[in-house]
Amino acid sequence: MLRRQLVTGLLVTACLLVLLCGVFPLAVWGVGQLAFNHQANGSLVKVHGKTVGSSLIGQSFTDNAGNALPQFFQPRPSAAGKGYDAGASAGSNLGPSNPNLIGNNLDDPQNNPYRTPSDPYCVPVGADGGYQKNPDGTYACNPNTVPERSIAYRQLNGLAAGSPVPVDAVTASGSGLDPDISVANALDQAGRVAQARHLPPAQVVDLIHRRIDHRAWGVLGEDTVNVVDLNIALDRLGDA
Amino acid sequence: MTTAGWVELAILIAALAVTTPLLGAYMAKVYDPTLGRPRGDRVFSAIERPIYRICRIDPESEQRWSTYALSLLAFSLVSVLILYAQLRLQGHLLLNPDRYKGIEPKLSFNTAVSFLTNTNWQAYGDGVMSQLSQMTGLAFHNFVSAAAGAAVAVAFIRGLIRRTAGTLGNFWVDLIRTCVRILLPLAFVAAIVLMSQGVIDNFHGARPVTTVAGQTQTIPGGPLASQEAIKEGGQNGGGFFGTNSAHPFENPNGVSNLVEIWLMLAIPFAFTYTFGKMARNQKQGWVVFATMFALWLGMLLVIAPLEARGSPLLTIGGADQRTTSLQAGGNMEGKETRFGPVGCGYFAASTTSTSDGAVNCQHDSLTPIGGGTALVNMMYGEISPGGTGSGLFGMLIFALLAVFIAGLMVGRTPEFLGKKIQGPEMKLVVLYLLLPAILILGFAGAAMLVHSALNSRLNTGPHGLSEIVYAYTEAFNNNGSAFGGLTANTAWYDTTLGIVMLAGRFLPMIAVLAIGGSLGRKKVVPATAGTFPTATPLFGGLLFGVVIIVVGLTYFPVVALGPAVEHLAGHFGL
């Protein structure tokens, strides 16, 4: 009885494998290669004939030391590898009240023993008893907390201390590969990018508005700006 | 919540309202030929006939409940061993352009069990699975685990509606028909729609490119669209990539996001119509539908607005979370810009109320009550609308409990669809309802005492408790979503979660088949003035109440200690 069932199970597995894992995926692959070749192969983008990435996969725009390049729009923080590692997609998975996300002593920053003049919510780097310090004697703060990211964002873009920062600019995405930023985030970066490229700010702002990916059918998803496409368009402005 | 968000929800509900009767009626004909010839019968018969011949299955023969269960177990055993072997040996097999090695034993065990049981919990991340393992290993179980759930549900319905019958149908026939006539056509159409939006489908290895800023990046490849379609359509949820449907290649934009949410919900909701049609009692089907729908929508309307409102703890750090015309705002940690907090909320509510478990945002980073709502959604037992088939039989078990409680109140033997519900059935119903409490709370409690299990937490405090409870809840209910901060690929979690997944899948199924077998043998008693009518809104309300009370009483303490404490301690407001 059991033996007959097992044999039937084996035969059914074999038949369904051929149909569901052979015929079906090959048929889908065939349709994709014929009808949606660009999408099925990764929505790759080319510049001067060379593939520079995929418009769906975000990229880092930093120098070798990891500093943001001011002439490029900056994507969101990324938890994928060292940042935008497309072979290691990942979110931070930090919980909503984890100090490594939100900072230390939010209720009572005066009593945060690690506070620095710029960051009252500083979370020190290193292990208990051996926290790293800066040359000026202050604690070195975990750069990936929202307070630290806000400070860095304001500094990079010449915003006033304490001014609110678009939330997408200081939080890591779910995939670590988010190619998009919000329109607000792009506009806040426009002045700095224009300055670094010696372009009139109005021209950069105008470019952003032309590159907004609006919600599909006016309602699905959110309005976004694709950083990879936007930076390529910026480079093209310079070429022209 | 924006106007666009509300309109998106309205489109989703409208789509479900249209597809539930259409798909449900078609499925009813697939399972019950006396209802008429299903569409495409000639084509599908031509595919099925050779399979029956090769496997020596007589499609006309029927099985008693015990044989039906034995076939289910035999098929599961054979197919899980094949998957395990394939994962261990993938380094020596074809279609492995990135040269991934064979997978170590404990991760292979956990992954094989996870896909067998329709859980699709991912203890693995990127850079582990070869394309062959994805396409012929994981995707195979995406189909057949969904089909096995559907088969058990259909056998249970037959038990409810047949009179003095000894058999419940034929497992092999139900399995094959579900794959060939329902899942395959749905997945084919969905895969093409998803590809048109940017989901990849190729056989490239990872390709290195020099980026715009002159760095190197490797763009992954793989036969993804075909797998993505059945991953959502069969409520499996195991991602091709570690970050699942948050990954832009799995879910590239707002359109694909809506399609994927609909795919998760379509078959489970349609099953209520199939049930009504097969029972020749469409009103009964709609009552079950309405109860599931109310649970799903209610929970969705908790998560999405909470995520859109954001976290006061991010505001202190300097983040502007307001929703304006220039940004979606909200709690964006772990979320994608293209979906925003609302798209994440809809997806999270749907993936945890079905047994899908795909994620388009990191559930670990949801607001405390947002994440807690996802957790409670699974604690309902995947019945709103649940997995393929498993959602329906889960809700019908609650329906049996509801008529039993109503019967106790008036002092009559409870009946459902004319069948007397008596001692043997109620014992199995209680077993069905106690199992999750014992296994989830038992193993989560045990993990609290094991040092290495506690070390796996990324977050501490009440959120750390939530991480562990979430893991066992998703495992028992075969959901597969995660509070991903938990490092799950350890000996403790790979093993215990594997055991919980197996128990959570097969013990309830066997109980359900046994109840079906027992009910099938009974006579139908004619309805009298004293019969409690079950195809009424009143019964829907009672059913809703029974679900809330049973689940609430079971899990309130642990939910209070995890999400509720975190919410109150973090000043998240009312």
Tell me: the pLDDT tens digits for B489-539?
999 999 999 999 999 999 999 999 999 999 999 999 998 888 899 999 999
ipTM: 0.97
Which member of A17, A31, A146 has the closest CB to residue B318?
A: A146
Name the residue among A16, A135, A233, A220 with its Cα closest to residue B55. Answer: A16
Name the residue among B418, B561, B551, B528 with its Cα closest to residue B477. Answer: B551
Name the residue among B19, B13, B34 with its Cα closest to residue B270. Answer: B19
pLDDT at A126: 87
Per residue in B414-429, is it b (16+ CB within 10 Å) or e — as a string? bbbbbbebeeebbebb
pLDDT at A239: 65
* Beta carbons within 10 angstroms of residue B66's beta carbon: 13
Q: Report the percent of chain B where pLDDT is more than 90.
A: 96
Q: Are strands B319-320 and A165-166 parallel, antiparallel or unpaired?
A: parallel
User: What does R_g of chain A's alpha carbons equal in angstroms?
Assistant: 24
Residue ranges of alpha helices (H) inside B126-216 are 131-132, 139-161, 171-177, 184-197
- Give the CA diameter of chain B: 80
Give the residue-averaged pLDDT of B28-42: 96
Paired residues of A224 in beta bridges: A213
pLDDT band with cut points at 50, 70 and 90 for residue A129:
confident
pLDDT at B425: 97
Domain range annotation of chain B: 3-208+218-281, 392-569
Q: Which residues are CB-neighbours of B45 under 8 A, at least 6 positions away?
A: none
**Is any Cβ of chain B less than 8 angstroms from the Cβ of A220?**
yes
Question: Cβ separation of B226 and A221 shorter than 8 Å?
Answer: no
Cα gap B49→B52, rounded to integer Å? 5
Count of residues for chain A?
240
Evaluate if residue A240 carries a pLDDT over 60.
no
Q: Which of B8, B44, B307, B337 to mutate to test the interface with A (most CBs of A within 10 A)?
A: B337
pLDDT at B529: 87
Evaluate if residue A128 carries a pLDDT over 80.
no
Instruction: Let me know: does A105 contact A93? Beta carbons within 8 Å.
Output: no
Give the residue-averaged pLDDT of B358-372: 97
pLDDT at A98: 96
Give the residue-averaged pLDDT of B165-176: 97
From chain A, the residues in CB contact with B197 under 8 A are: 39
DSSP secondary structure string for all residues of B461-513: THHHHHHHHHHHHHHHTT-----TTS---SHHHHHHHHHHHHHHHHHHHHHHH
pLDDT at B362: 97
pLDDT at A237: 87
pLDDT at A85: 96
Name the residue among B526, B291, B337 with its Cα closest to residue A76. Answer: B337
Q: What's the half-sphere exposure (Cβ side, CA atoms, 13 Å) at B330?
A: 31
pLDDT at B1: 84
Give the residue-averaged pLDDT of B64-81: 98
Which tokens in the block code for residue A124?
Answer: 């020190």
pLDDT at A1: 82
Cα gap A80→A57, rounded to integer Å? 11
Between chain A and chain B, how many beta carbons pairs sit less than 8 Å apart? 425
- Which of helix, strand or coil describes residue B416? strand
pLDDT band with cut points at 50, 70 and 90 for residue B104:
very high
pLDDT at B38: 95
Give the residue-averaged pLDDT of B345-359: 97
- Give the CA diameter of chain A: 81
Q: Give kind and range of the element (H or E) at residue B217.
A: strand B216-219
Evaluate if residue B574 carries a pLDDT over 80.
no
Residue type, B130: S
Paired residues of A139 in beta bridges: A133
Q: Give kind and range of the element (H or E) at residue B219.
A: strand B216-219
Which tokens in the block code for residue A166?
Answer: 């678009």
Cα gap B504→A140, rounded to integer Å? 48
Residue matched to tokens 């920062």:
A165
Q: Report the percent of chain B where pLDDT is more than 70.
A: 100
Cα gap B441→B561, rounded to integer Å? 13
Evaluate if residue B486 carries a pLDDT over 90.
yes
pLDDT at B572: 82
Span A28-83, pLDDT tens digits:
999 999 999 999 999 999 999 999 999 999 999 999 999 999 999 999 999 999 99
**Is any Cβ of chain B less than 8 angstroms from the Cβ of A219?**
yes
Paired residues of A141 in beta bridges: A124
pLDDT at A62: 96
Beta strands in chain A (DSSP E): 44-47, 50-54, 165-166, 180-181, 212-213, 224-226
Q: Which of residues 95-154 of A touch B (CB under 8 A)?
A: 95-98, 101-103, 106-107, 121, 145-147, 149-151, 154
Instruction: Let me know: does B395 contact B292? Beta carbons within 8 Å.
Output: yes
CA distances, B246 to each of A77, A91, B41 (Å)? 15, 9, 38
Residue of B nearest to A39 (CA): B198
From chain B, the residues in CB contact with A85 under 8 A are: 217
Put the strands of the sheet holding A224-226 in their side by side order.
A180-181, A224-226, A212-213
Span B223-269, pLDDT tens digits:
999 999 999 999 999 889 999 999 999 999 999 999 999 999 999 99
- Best-predicted range by mean pLDDT (B122-136, B315-329, B402-416): B315-329
pLDDT at B76: 97
Evaluate if residue B573 carries a pLDDT over 80.
no
Instruction: Let me know: does B377 contact B299? Beta carbons within 8 Å.
Output: yes
Evaluate if residue A161 carries a pLDDT over 90.
yes
